[in-house]
Homo-oligomer: A and B are copies of this chain.
Amino acid sequence: MKQYRILIDCKDEKGLVYKISSIFFRHDLNILSNNEFVDDKQNRFFMRSVVDGSVDDSVLKEELAHALPEGASVQIVAPGRKNIVLMATKESHALGDILIRYEAGELDANILAVISNYDTLKPLVEKFDIPYHTVSHNGLERVEHEKKVLELLAGFNNLDYVVLAKYMRILTPGFVSAYEDRIINIHHSFLPAFIGANPYKQAYERGVKIIGATAHFVNNDLDEGPIIAQDVKHVDHAYGWKDMQRLGRDIEKIVLSRALKLALEDRIFVYGNKTVIF
């Protein structure tokens, strides 16, 4: 008996649940949980099932693909540790939050390495026996620097996600396309407010009464990728921008860790610049 996470994303049409569940039934699979969503506007069907039983993955996948509309995406994932690399710059709160969870065995992941453009966080990371790679951007063109990082990343087998835990450099399209829908970033504002640099300063100057943070997949447009999770806190006039930043860090780290957890549990579908999350 094994557990399988089955993720289906296809054009909507009548009878999909019946067709899918009849295949599960024929293979004597027991549905532990089932989530479905139909996007009416885009006529698109999403389903995530967790089943247990005993079946040949490739047979099941083929049968599903055969029964579903053309172009359907079918993923069958065995629960288990995914491989991730963390990237950070100088701030430790988001990275540290992940490290503490990792140490507690709370994350279903192997942290293969931390990559940074500074060595500031090296002492912290090495406490946890995780390899730390400093790739300084000093004196390098953006693309040259990214090339070095990409070479490092390429050295990791079966890398599932790159997690930007306050990595403060903008990625070029070349970098992003190498890990499409697999780079998770935390942005320090409730997007789409305060795109770009120093959002807390922007928020302070705008006089907002709420600050927030957004975890999202990175795509080619800065801060425009599909949103995974957001949260906010109330502030008032007594908050200077450094106070907002301090409070904001608490939001950032919780939101990033929540997004990472959703990714590790295969709960996120990306379509266009949106997500469906079960």
Spell out A's residues near B (CB within 8 Å). Answer: 14-18, 21-22, 24-25, 28, 30-41, 91-93, 96-97, 99-101, 103-104, 106, 124, 127-128, 190-194, 206-210, 212, 226-232, 234, 236-238, 240, 246, 250, 254, 257-258, 272-277
Contact = CB atoms under 8 A, between A and B. Distances in A.
Nearest to A31: B17
Contacts of A226: 207
Contacts of A193: 190-193
Given A14-B30, A24-B18, A232-B232, A237 B275 contact: yes
Contact of A227 (B208, B231, B258, B273): B208
Nearest to A126: B127
Contacts of A228: 209
A75 to B, nearest CB: 18
A270 to B, nearest CB: 10
4 closest residue pairs by CB, A with B: A96-B100, A207-B274, A127-B127, A18-B21
